Amino acid sequence: MRSTTIGLMRVAVAGLALAAAGCDLGLPAGRSPHREGNRLDMIDQPKLKPQRADIFGGRPTGTLEAPAGAVAIDETPYPYKQAQAAEAAALVNPLPHSPEVIAHGKFVYENVCITCHGPKGAGDGTLTLVFPKPPSLMTQKVRDWADGEIFHRPMRGQGSMPSHARQLDARDMWSVVHYVRQMQSVEPVAPASAPASGATPAAGASAGQAQPVPTAAAMNSISGGRS
């Protein structure tokens, strides 16, 4: 009789242990792990789920954030702040002006920059119907900039242009600089445009590109390709 009781207790303890183990399987509340015979379904195994804050009794799990200042292997954080364009001017483009690099720069430009800066850097991208129009990248001012300054502005953002540091790494950005140089070598010099910040066409803006007014017709033509 005694041994039967002990046996029953053992089963109960084993059952409790299994139930407790179920808590660690990362299952939604109320669902028990699916088993085929003695096999646990592969989806019901202990694992970290990024959206699940706490399955291991309060210890941090998949939601662990990288400590402040952590740097990924092979990542070189860009050191200059937005106002340090002059310091960035001293940076030297580490990539060769080769067809491969220019092709990569064209790829990045046509996927990221073209929406605002336009197919030839004139500042006439389709987004400018609804977003402040950037100055042309073909002006003498930008031609005279060091590579590092062209690198710096999209990296840290300028005026209404946001920083692109989260989308693009240094290789992408230096390739774009080569591509901008390539365009400058074939496109005519653009007249200096009124400062884009403020987005109000100044008196002298007629010399440059007039700010398009986003009318309903213009908005509709966004999907119809570039004019």
List residues near ligand HEC by CB under 6 A.
112-113, 115-117, 127, 131-132, 134-135, 137, 141-142, 150, 153-154, 158-161, 164, 168, 176, 196-197
For residues 104 and 112, give the distance between their C-alpha atoms in angstroms, rounded to a whole number. 12
**For ligand HEC, which is the closer residue by CB, 117 or 181?**
117
Non-local (6+) Cβ contacts of 115 within 8 A are 125, 126, 127
Non-local (6+) Cβ contacts of 192 within 8 A are 135, 139, 140, 141, 208
Token look-up 């540091």 returns 165
**For ligand HEC, which is the closer residue by CB, 88 or 161?**
161
**Amino acid letter, 17:** A
SS3 169: coil
**For ligand HEC, which is the closer residue by CB, 59 or 166?**
166
Query: How far apart are CB 61 and ligand HEC at their closest, in Å?
Result: 37
Contact 184, 138 (CB under 8 A): yes
Q: Give the phi and the psi of residue 161 in degrees, each rounded to 5.
A: -80, 120
**For ligand HEC, which is the closer residue by CB, 82 or 197?**
197
Query: How far apart are CB 130 and ligand HEC at their closest, in Å?
Result: 10
Query: How far apart are CB 219 and ligand HEC at their closest, in Å?
Result: 17
**What residue number has its CB nearest to ligand HEC?**
159
Query: How far apart are CB 215 and ligand HEC at their closest, in Å?
Result: 20
Tokens at residue 32, please? Answer: 């028990």
**For ligand HEC, which is the closer residue by CB, 55 or 126?**
126
Query: How far apart are CB 45 and ligand HEC at their closest, in Å?
Result: 43
